[in-house]
Amino acid sequence: MGIIKKLPVYSEKIPGGGLVLTSLDAIFNYSRACSVWYLLFGTACCAIELMCTGAARYDFDRLGMIFRATPRQADVIIVAGTITKKFAPRLRRLYDQMAEPRYIIAMGGCTVNGGPFYYDCYSVEKGIDHIVPVDVYIPGCPPRPESLLEGCLHLQKKIKTQTISDWQEK
Amino acid sequence: MSGLLTQEFTVNMGPHHPSTHGVCRLILTMDGEKVVKIEPVIGYLHRSMEKICENRTYAQCVPLMDRFEYVTAMSAEYVFVNAVEKLAEIEVPERAEYLRVIMLELNRIASHLIFYGATAMDIGALTPFIYGLRERELIIDLFEMTCGQRLTYNYMKIGGVSHDIPKEFIPKCREAVKIIGEKMSDYEGLLNENPIWLARTKNVGVLPTDLAKAYGVSGPVLRASGVKYDIRKNDPYSIYDRFDFNIPCRHNGDSYDRYLLRLDEIRESLKIIIQALDGLPEGDTLKKVNPFNFKPPAGEMYSRIENSRGEMGVYIISDGTTKPLRVKMRGSSYNHVQVLPKVATGVLIADLVATFATLDVIMPEVDR
Amino acid sequence: MTGDELKEYIVGHLEGKLKPLESGKHDPLFEVQESDLLTVAQVLRDDENLKFDFLSCISGVDTGERFEIVYSLASLANNLRIDLKVVLSREKPEVESVQEIWPAANWYEREIWELYGFDIKNHGNLTRFLLADDWDQGYPMRKDWDAPDFVRFPELER
């Protein structure tokens, strides 16, 4: 991957170097956005809606998204369900095991800010964005499959605005 | 194989695993491929629902009961609403009772279809998952037509149901029942005589009858072990004593029997729905109580119903104020995970996965 | 047998040890002393006309003034249902384990120990169960429990 690392540096010096990087960006982004593989992760009620979205009527496969069982082969974790304080370190560990570029979709009210378990609850993490960095939030309890599909389209749009030189310094 | 030095090692079938039906952690001590000791660790979905219910009015507790068991949310709401109505001695209108029975049985079929799909997926067959969820969409359409939600309905209210059915419901329901009845032969044809399925599930995870009774196992798991006990017949609630249906019962207690029994139960539920649709009376659907100022008299009771997984119960203590003093929720999966180490020790790890799948466990019932 | 016949039969067979309570609305509810719990449980399980071999649920209760434990029992063969209540003292709540009689009680008692703080004698496995591994904030289901990040539902103006 040495050429990829050095390409932004070289193309700065070439007149019109931005165009080389832009075409490469377009190819990378298009391939990444159209084949985002998600991790089979579901804790609570939103997991059933995730399963339904992957089934016959609202198909995930038409967006190029298929499930993988291990985080090493996944691009995105769709965190579906309540995350408790006991489970939070495991979620962080799963996120750390993913290879970059990696994304998180927070599905459902519980992952946004605790949802129906905000008041009077001693064991729920009120929102996951202080555990892992979140890219797309999908509200709902549980969100309809159409909402989840729109969230995934937002993620695809976000991926298409990235550039490969973003992942250099991480 | 004697003379070979072996050592036991620990494998963590961790909280995030495709086959553990939620977030259950199993610490396995293994001798090669055989499981020597299982220790279930739970609590990864403990959302303290019982503490939340102590600070809500009775009407505000109903949507929370939805999340207690979201695959059969109608049953979860019903068991709470039934307890409160018995404590306050509220008479529910006839039409509401018939609608409740129709919704409960539709929910039972939807839950068994998810069982069918998820169990097959755990054992390795991916097609039944798509088939099961495709038919479940027909039932979910009916729910959405009535109350607007697909999964967590908030449909049962204290004193009746929240919405009356629209006029398209009855013809669509009959059509859904007809389609599901025809597709049952597809489901059975895929798996029942399949040699791989038989090798994976026959004589695997046998649960003897006295062990089942001692550990408080209920529902299809108990009936597959030879005990013909169903709360709808032995201790009837709502208007189940007016309908004519059988209780299937099998005697081997292995995973294959548990799978077959649930398919039999789908057929019985289809019969009940047709009888309820034929006998649906006219009338109003809700005997209104003031949701903000509803104070049942002081008392306590344990209300239980036959859920698709087993016996689901709620123990309510009321002290005469608008909020309950104690709501204890009892889910059948709690006992099933407790009996797992007794049933699946000394087997190969693939058999452990098959046993756990057919016990049909759902983790929010265990952790609450 | 009906509810009243059941009450008379049970009170007759266990003279002095059980006291029927009025607050049980649907099924008979009896109060038992903590010292008599095991003998009563043995009789209830083994008597031919009762055969309460199915333990549905054990609930811990904190009424604000006292602690209670409620055992919900059922009989599969005879289609009967009763509840048993044991009242515990506020300073030192402890009770004998009933898992010799109903093995299903194991996890229920572990949960009560963890969330309420009742001491269960002869249990054998009272370890961390539902709460996080590093939980050190007391017994959350008690009515007087509080914590810094515990937000109460606001009372609505009506």
Q: Looking at A110-119, B15-24, B41-50, C135-144, which range is the least confident one?
A: B15-24
Residue B217 banded pLDDT, cuts 50, 70, 90: very high
Q: Do A119 and C151 touch (CB under 8 A)?
A: yes
Which residues lie across from B316 on neighbouring strands?
Answer: B301, B327
Q: Looking at A68-77, C8-17, C116-125, which range is the least confident one?
A: C8-17
Contact B77, B66 (CB under 8 A): yes
Residue B224 banded pLDDT, cuts 50, 70, 90: very high
> Chain C closest CA to B304's CA: distance in Å?
9
Residues B240-244: what's their mean pLDDT? 91
Query: What local confidence, expressed as pLDDT, does residue B15 receive?
Result: 87
Q: Do A118 and C140 touch (CB under 8 A)?
A: no
ipTM of this model? 0.92
Between A40, A42, A45, which is nearest B67 by CB? A45
Among all residues of chain C, which has the CA nearest to that of A120?
C152
Which residues of A, range 46-85, sit inside 8 Å of C by Cβ?
Answer: 84-85
> Chain A closest CA to C63's CA: distance in Å?
18
Residues B78-82: what's their mean pLDDT? 93
Query: What local confidence, expressed as pLDDT, does residue B182 receive?
Result: 92
Contact A126, A91 (CB under 8 A): no
Q: Do A120 and C131 touch (CB under 8 A)?
A: no
Query: What local confidence, expressed as pLDDT, does residue A169 receive?
Result: 45
The strand pair at A136-138 and A103-107 is best described as parallel
Q: Do B70 and A119 touch (CB under 8 A)?
A: no
Query: What local confidence, expressed as pLDDT, does residue C128 receive?
Result: 87
Contact B367, C130 (CB under 8 A): yes
Max Cα distance, chain C (Å)? 56
**Mean predicted lDDT score pLDDT of chain B:** 90
What does the buried/exposed string (b/e) look like for B123-144 if buried means 16 or more CB atoms within 10 Å of the residue's CB? Answer: bebeebbebbbebbbbbbebbe
Residue A7 banded pLDDT, cuts 50, 70, 90: low
In words, the CATH class of domain A36-161 is alpha beta
Query: What local confidence, expressed as pLDDT, does residue A170 receive?
Result: 41
Alpha-helical runs (H) found in B19-93: 49-53, 58-68, 73-88
Q: Any CB–CB contact under 8 A between B129 and chain A? A: yes
Residue C20 banded pLDDT, cuts 50, 70, 90: confident
Contact B311, B332 (CB under 8 A): yes
pLDDT digits (tens, 9 = 90+) for A69-81: 899 999 999 999 9
Q: What are phi and psi of C95, to 5 degrees?
A: -150, 155
Query: What local confidence, expressed as pLDDT, does residue B143 receive?
Result: 93
Among all residues of chain A, which has the CA nearest to that of C145?
A122
Instruction: Check pLDDT > 90 for residue B140.
Output: yes
Residue C15 banded pLDDT, cuts 50, 70, 90: confident
Nearest-5° angle of CA C147, CA C152, CA C153?
A: 165
**Which domains can be identified in chain C, with CATH numbers?**
3-96 (3.30.460.80)
pLDDT digits (tens, 9 = 90+) for B21-41: 788 899 999 988 889 999 999
- Is pTM beyond 0.80 here? yes
Query: What local confidence, expressed as pLDDT, does residue A18 receive?
Result: 60
Q: Any CB–CB contact under 8 A between C104 and chain B? A: yes
Q: Which of A6-10, A15-19, B86-90 has the highest mean pLDDT?
A: B86-90
Instruction: Check pLDDT > 60 for residue B65.
Output: yes
Q: Any CB–CB contact under 8 A between A123 and chain C? A: yes
Query: What local confidence, expressed as pLDDT, does residue B282 receive?
Result: 87
What are the start and end residues of each CATH 3.40.50.12280 domain in chain A?
36-161
**CA–CA gap between residue B86 and residue B108 (Å, rounded):** 23
Any idea which fold B47-367 has? Cytochrome-c3 Hydrogenase; chain B (1.10.645)
Query: What local confidence, expressed as pLDDT, does residue B294 receive?
Result: 87
